[in-house]
Structure 1
Amino acid sequence: MAAAAVQTYTPASYDHRAVDAMTDVDVAAQRLQELNGLDHMKSCIRDVFMKHGVDKVFGVGLLHRHYDVAPNEKIIELGPVSSPWVVGDDEVITGGAVLPHTWRVFDGELKPTEFKFVPQRELSNVDRPVFPAAFVKELIGVLQETGLDEVLGVSLYEPGDPDNETMEVTYGRSSIVIPSTGLIGSKVIGPQGFDAFQAAWTFSKKEGEDVVAHHGICAAMGVDDGVTARHGICAAKAESGVEARHGICAAKAADDGVTARHGICAAKMNEGVKALHGICAAKASEGVNSRHGICAAKSSEDGLKAQHGICAARASDDGLKAHHGICAAKANTDGVTSRHGICAARASEDGINTRHGICAAKSADEGITARHGICAAKASDGIKSYHGICAAKSIEDGVKTRHGICAARTAEDGIRAKHGICAAKVADEGMTARHGICAARLANGDGIKV
């Protein structure tokens, strides 16, 4: 009598959500411990594999993520390196095929999570795994019953070699299999002082070796002073605590402590650098407030207020008010009024007239004429402001404002403002401002050239 055919199971299609839902390896390892995962692997999970005779076909792996993967990407292994590839739903791609080698339970089905590239010339020799339907049904039930369906997945069987153990280390968005550096008890010793975690197991019929840990050791969290390396981050060294998260690489942390968060790399912190929300503050002596995309280089005891996309260089005791995307350089006792996208530098008792997007810095009894988007700072013996040019001051030495250039002052030493360059001062030591470069000072001996 012929043996009955074994019903097989076909895993579901790739689902990005199944990968996106996974946690970091240290979190997954902690959850495995909390759920007594190793004990379950030695008992009920092992029993399912042995009962259906798939212990030399499949193993189990710790479900964890190495880095963020986009919906149109798949993690694909090529040699010792796994990385995200942008590929479609078809397994056939240029030069070969991408075949799944790791699966997890998601929405009650087995779904692939990682793949391997197989060259075209080797496809005919590939033994594609067969999933007995009864095995899959029983395994899903056990994993769900123990709560391990979000912690453990199924992987293709790879026999371990005690003399040639390997481990997986993530650099950027690539995971590389390298030789393991050994074990101390149950603790894996990772490279460069990183702790590591066992992440793959197979089942054995040998007495005393019910579960064998091999390969798949993932180095992700480190030394006693607290390096956390997650999502493809490489923390080179931590002496007194580097926190490197979300794509940040902090090279060194001195005893004063560097905090590098949200894409910010703070090189050194002496008296307290606050670098938040994409802001890199180089040094803080008396407290830098850098918020909302503003980089404040230094804040003295009078306090720097930088808000709403405004970078205020200095705030004295008379108080700097910078509102609505306006940067007011200094505010005296008479107060700065800055409204409607206009920056008024000073307001005296004679009153500022700021209208129609024009900024009038001072209005005296000689009268300001501010028209057609032109800002005239002062009119005494005649300001000439033409063609959208702002002439700051016009006295007997004469202001030349041409071609959209604002010349702040022109005295006997002569300002040259050409080619869209604004030269703040040019004295007899000779300033050269060329090719869109503004040179602040060129002394006669120190030879500054910009």
Structure 2
Amino acid sequence: MSVQVLPYSVEKYNKVPVLGTSAQDFQYRQGEAFVLSSLRLLLFEYKLSDTFGVVLLHRHFDLDKDEKLVDYNNQATSCKLEDDELVGGQVVPVSWRVMKTPGSPDVMPFEFEFRPLSKDKGIDLAIPQYQPFLKDFVSTIIAGGYEDCVGLSLRSEHSGGIELAQGWYLDPKPSTPEASVSRRTVAEHVEGNVKPELIHRRECAMVSAGTGTTTKTGRRRDNVLMSEHLGNTHGQDSMQAKA
């Protein structure tokens, strides 16, 4: 049975805990080991580590019944459901959560992004080429009992040039200084309950490859789960979605 992409539901979004609560639950349930082993290996197995990462599900703020969360110009904001086609661009999904529906586990768009018309239209998880990966990804999360904890997210370089407002985010590819520059990521340790070496602060910034200095281009900061401490022993090819 195929994995269906369900319509977005603001009611299901509002039931997700805020970041602090989600982080504590993730730590208590030892989610770090699960994500950095089982889910990371799946991304490499299907050669999708250049396209997707794993996001810690959390709620930024409560939304009204006709709203969804949209990353607009590097700011997490609410948007009316009918406003998918906006002046100069469109709203596309960038993260999905696993829904444990009876008889057929599915995925649901969870967070979105405004994308200018000059950019591509994003990734459609409903196309057949993603089905084998989705089946394994969904079944692995449900078997581990993490469907209310982690989900699937686009890597930042597939987000139309706008950094994802995703909170904790696992990048399955080990980072180098050059890779960090290309992703506009500031590797700044953040103390907390999760191991400091796995937590970095992502800031919307332009990073100079020559000096490593930064120029701020936005106010949002998000905690980011990275896998920079892991060696890359897997393939690095990516499977690109066709429109």
TM bin, normalised by shorter chain, reads: 0.5 to 0.7
Q: What RMSD, in angstroms, separates the aligned Cα atoms of the two structures? A: 3.4
- 1:126/1:200 CA distance change after superposition, 3 Å: farther
- The 2-side partners of 1:26 and 1:80 are apart by 21
- 1:202/1:140 CA distance change after superposition, 3 Å: farther
Residue 70 of structure 2: SS of its match in structure 1? strand
Residue 150 of structure 1: SS of its match in structure 2? coil
Do the aligned partners of 1:25 and 1:197 also contact (CA within 8 Å) in 2? no
Residue number in structure 2 paired with 1:206: 231
Deviations 1:84-133 (A, max 9, x none): 01232x7323332110001101233110111111223x14x345355611
Residue number in structure 2 paired with 1:24: 18
- 1:197/1:115 CA distance change after superposition, 3 Å: closer
Deviations 1:238-294 (A, max 9, x none): xxxxxxxxxxxxxxxxxxxxxxxxxxxxxxxxxxxxxxxxxxxxxxxxxxxxxxxxx
Do the aligned partners of 2:97 and 2:110 also contact (CA within 8 Å) in 1? yes
Query: By percentage of residues, which structure has more strand?
Result: 2
Structure of higher RCO (CA pairs closer than 8 Å, 6+ residues apart): 2
Residue number in structure 2 paired with 1:112: 109
> In the comparison of the two structures, how many residue pairs are matched?
184
Residue number in structure 2 paired with 1:93: 86
**C-alpha deviation, 1:29, in angstroms:** 1.0
Residue 48 of structure 2: SS of its match in structure 1? coil
Residue 84 of structure 1: SS of its match in structure 2? strand
- The 2-side partners of 1:156 and 1:189 are apart by 18
User: Which structure 2 residues correspond to residues 39-50 of structure 1 after superposition, within 5 A?
Assistant: 39-50=33-44
2:189 maps to 1:182: yes
Residue 12 of structure 1: SS of its match in structure 2? coil
Residue 132 of structure 1: SS of its match in structure 2? helix
Residue 148 of structure 1: SS of its match in structure 2? coil
- The 2-side partners of 1:113 and 1:197 are apart by 17
- 1:157/1:69 CA distance change after superposition, 3 Å: same
- The 1-side partners of 2:222 and 2:76 are apart by 18
- The 2-side partners of 1:85 and 1:157 are apart by 22
- 1:154/1:202 CA distance change after superposition, 3 Å: farther
Amino acid paired to 1:128? I
- The 1-side partners of 2:130 and 2:228 are apart by 17
- The 1-side partners of 2:109 and 2:79 are apart by 15
Residue 156 of structure 2: SS of its match in structure 1? coil
**C-alpha deviation, 1:21, in angstroms:** 1.6
- 1:92/1:189 CA distance change after superposition, 3 Å: closer
- The counterpart of 1:55, out of the listed 28, 31, 49, is 49
**C-alpha deviation, 1:139, in angstroms:** 1.1
User: Which structure 2 residues correspond to residues 290-329 of structure 1 after superposition, within 5 A?
Assistant: none
- The counterpart of 2:123, out of the listed 123, 128, 143, is 128
Query: By percentage of residues, which structure has more helix?
Result: 2
Deviations 1:26-83 (A, max 9, x none): 1111111122111111222122222222111110011001111111011111121120
Segments of structure 1 that go 5 or more residues without pairing to the other structure are 1-6, 167-178, 191-195, 210-450
Segments of structure 2 that go 5 or more residues without pairing to the other structure are 158-174, 202-220, 235-243
The percentage of aligned residue pairs carrying the same residue is 21
- The 1-side partners of 2:222 and 2:78 are apart by 22
- 1:13/1:68 CA distance change after superposition, 3 Å: same
Amino acid paired to 2:93? P
Deviations 1:344-386 (A, max 9, x none): xxxxxxxxxxxxxxxxxxxxxxxxxxxxxxxxxxxxxxxxxxx
- The 1-side partners of 2:114 and 2:141 are apart by 29
Residue number in structure 2 paired with 1:140: 138
**C-alpha deviation, 1:155, in angstroms:** 0.4
Amino acid paired to 1:75? L
User: Which structure 2 residues correspond to residues 1-400 of structure 1 after superposition, within 5 A?
Assistant: 11-88=5-82, 91-106=84-99, 107=101, 108-120=105-117, 122-123=118-119, 125-130=120-125, 132-158=130-156, 161-162=179-180, 166=185, 181-183=188-190, 186=196, 198-201=223-226, 206-207=231-232
Of structures 1 and 2, the larger Rg is shown by 1
- 1:82/1:48 CA distance change after superposition, 3 Å: same
Amino acid paired to 2:135? K
